[in-house]
Chains A and B, each alone.
Chain A
C-alpha cells in the first residue's frame, strides 16, 4: 500500500509525524512538499509524481483540497481518499482581503508575527497556551517563508470549486474533522460527507483545525481502522515483542529496543570506568602499561573484579553487558588484535564463519 500525506497551508511533513511513524512499518509512506507551487493543480501533479500506481491519499486542510484535485486529474489512481479539516467550496466573498492581511503581516513584520497571529485560532481554545503543541507548530511556520506563503495563498484563492466533483467520487472516502475546528467547522464536513457516495465521517474529539498534531493518536487510530491495517500493525508489534522476550533477559539493564543495548544514561554511568580505561589505550604509553601489567593498568581506573575479569578474558558480550561501548572497548583490540567481526560473532553467540555467512551475507 502506498500512502501519500499532503500538508496544509504553511505546514510541512512534520504535521504527519505521528501517522507516518505508525504506518511506515506496514505501508510505503511518502510526504508531499508544497513549498514551491502556486496552484492547487501543480501541487496535485507533484503529489501524483511521488509514486507510480495506485495511491491512498490523505490530505489536511489545503492538502485535502489538493487530494480532491488529484482525484479530478487521476481518478483511476486514487484508490482511497481521506479529507481532514477542509472545504470544497471556491473562494468566498471577502476572502482575498482577509488573506491579504496575513500576507502584509508576513511582509512587514516577518514570519514570527504571522505565526503568532495565525496559529492560535487554528487549535482548540484550551491548547493555545500548550507549549508542547504550539512550539513545534511555530517552528514549522518559521521554516516557511513569505514567498512560500504568498504562493500558497495564490493557490488557495484560485482554487477550483470541488463541489461538483464530490458526487462523482467512487473510491472509499473518509472525512475527518476536529470537533472544535473553528476554521473549517464540522457542519462543512457533514455536507462534504453527504455529497460523496458512501463517505464515512469521523469527528475527532477535543481538537481544533490541526487534528493530526492536536490528537495524533485518535487521527492515527481512525486512519488505521479505515485502512484495515490494524491486524498488520498488531503482527508487526508482536514480532518486535517476541524479539524482546528472547534476548537480553540476563542483561540487568532493560533495552528500550529489542536486542539493542542503546547507550543510554544507565549504560553510560555503569560503563564509565570501563570505557575510560579503554579510551586510554589510544595513548601509546598506556598501551605499553596495559601490555606490561594488565591487572595493574585496570586497577588504575578502579575497575570492579567483575569488570576486570570481563576485560582480561576478552569477554566482549560481558563487557557490553557491563556498560562497555564498542567504540571505546574496541581499543583493547589495538593492543590484543582481534577482528571486529569476531567481536560481533562473540556477542551474537555465533561461530565466526556462520556469523559472516548469516549476518553479513558473505560467501
Chain B
C-alpha cells in the first residue's frame, strides 16, 4: 500500500512568486525568508516523495463566484499554471496522479465528504508557490500532484474541525491505495494576514508562532476553534490557515517536527513553514 512519509505546511503568498520571477531571492528583503526554506528543500530531496497532495484555495482565478465548491479535487492528467493577470509564469505544468485522485474521491464520498470533481482546471499561486518553495524550479516537477481546493473566501467557509476530519479521510485513502508510492501532504496558506478593510495589514506574529507550535503538539485545540476565532487571530485572509488542518489530520497524533521557519512580513503576511514526520511506531506513547 502507499505510504505517507510526511506532512508539510507553508504559506503561499503570491509576492513570493513575484520575488522569484524578478530574481529577488538574495535581496536583503527576501534572503532570510528563502534561506529558511533550505532545510525543507533538503528534506524533500532526501525523502523523494512520488506524489504530493496539496491543499490550497483558489483566489479568483479558476473559480468565480458563480460556482463555489466547498471542497474540490483535481482528477486531471495535467494542471496548467493559470495566468492571474500579470502574464504567464515560466513554470512547468503539474503532472496529475489521476488514479489516486479518483480513489481519493471514492474514499471521500464513502466517508461522507462529497467533493466537486475537476477534470480540466488551471491552478494558481496557491499551489505554485508551495511547490516552488519545496521543489525549486525544475524543468519538470519530480512529483505528481493531487490538488484539493478548499473554499476559504466565500462564506460560509468550512469549519476548521471539518478540515481536520478531511485530513483523516485523506490518510485513509493513502493507506488503502494499492501502490508502493510515497506520499507527502502539503497544507498551505496563511499565516496571519488581512488584505481588506480598516484592519488591512494586520499581522499577529505571537499567534503565528503559537500556531506553528500547536499544529504539531495540540492540533485538537486548533480544530476545535471557530472560524470567527481564526479571523480574529489571523486576519480575514489568514483564516485560510485552517487548511493546514487537512495536512495535520492526515498525520498521526504524535509527530516529530523536523523543521520550522517563520518570517514576517512577506509582503503583508506572516509566513511560515513546517516539516512533520509521524513518530516511528513504538517510539514512546506520550506526546512530547
**Is B27 interfacial (CB 8 A cutoff)?**
no
The distance in angstroms between the C-alpha atoms of A172 and B170, with both chains bound, is: 44
Min C-beta distance of B254 to chain A, whole Å: 8
Does A185 reach chain B (CB closer than 8 Å)?
no
Interface segment among B33-41, B83-91, B142-150: the answer is: B83-91
Partner of B225, one of A20, A281, A343: A20
Q: Are B64 and A276 within 8 A (Cβ)?
A: yes
Q: Does B220 contact A (CB under 8 A)?
A: yes
Within 8 A of A (CB), among B191-209: 194-203, 205
Chain B residues with CB under 8 Å of A184's CB are none
Q: In residues 1-56 of chain A, which contact B (Cβ within 8 Å)? A: 12-14, 16-17, 20-21, 24, 29-31, 33, 35-37, 42, 45-46, 49-50
Assess whether B231 is interfacial by the CB under 8 Å rule: yes
Q: Which residues of B sit under 8 angstroms from A325, Cβ to Cβ?
A: 60, 153, 196
Residues on B with C-beta less than 8 A from A42 are 285-286
- Chain B interface residue number, banded: 35 or more
Is B257 interfacial (CB 8 A cutoff)?
no
Decide yes or no whether B61 CB sits under 8 A from chain A. yes
User: Which of B232, B254, B286 has the largest count of A CB atoms less than 10 A from its CB?
Assistant: B286
Identity of the chain B residue whose Cβ is nearest the Cβ of A28 in the assembled complex: B210
B264 contacts the other chain (CB 8 A): yes
Binary CB contact string for chain B from 214 to 252 against chain A (1 if under 8 A, 0 otherwise):
000110110111101101100111000000000000000
Are B198 and A14 closer than 8 Å at their CB atoms?
A: no
Q: Is the CB of B224 within 8 A of A31?
A: yes
Whether A282 lies near B82 (C-beta < 8 A) is yes
Cα A360 to Cα B65 in complex, Å, equals 30
B224 touches A20 (CB 8 A): yes
User: Among the listed B228, B267, B287, which residue makes an inter-chain contact with A256, where contact means beta carbons less than 8 Å apart?
Assistant: B228
Cα of A289 to Cα of B90 in the assembled complex, Å: 25
Is A297 interfacial (CB-CB < 8 Å)? no
Contact between B155 and A264, CB atoms less than 8 A apart: yes
Taking CB as reference atom, which chain B residue is nearest A48? B286
State which of A248, A326, A334 has its C-beta within 8 Å of the C-beta of B198: A248
When distances are taken between beta carbons in the complex, the residues of chain A under 8 Å from B225 are 20-21, 24
Residues of chain B within 8 A of A272, CB atoms compared? 65
- Give every chain A residue within 8 A of B64 (Cβ-Cβ): 275-276, 279
- Judged by a CB distance under 8 angstroms, whether B69 is at the interface is no
Is A344 a contact partner of B220 (Cβ separation < 8 A)?
Answer: no
| B268 lies within 8 A of chain A by Cβ | yes
CA distance A281 to B84 in the complex (A): 8
**Of A14, A30, A347, the contact of B218 (CB 8 Å cutoff):** A30
A328 interface residue (CB < 8 Å to B): yes
Given contacts A347-B198, A360-B265, A334 and B85 within 8 Å (CB-CB): yes
Q: List 30 A-B contacts (CB under 8 A).
A: A13-B224, A20-B221, A21-B229, A24-B225, A33-B220, A36-B285, A37-B285, A42-B285, A45-B286, A46-B286, A49-B287, A49-B288, A50-B287, A240-B232, A247-B199, A255-B197, A261-B236, A263-B153, A264-B155, A279-B60, A284-B87, A340-B267, A340-B268, A343-B195, A344-B200, A347-B200, A349-B198, A355-B201, A360-B201, A361-B205
Q: Which 9 A-B pairs have the closest CB atoms?
A: A359-B201, A13-B220, A334-B85, A259-B199, A344-B200, A327-B60, A331-B85, A326-B195, A264-B155
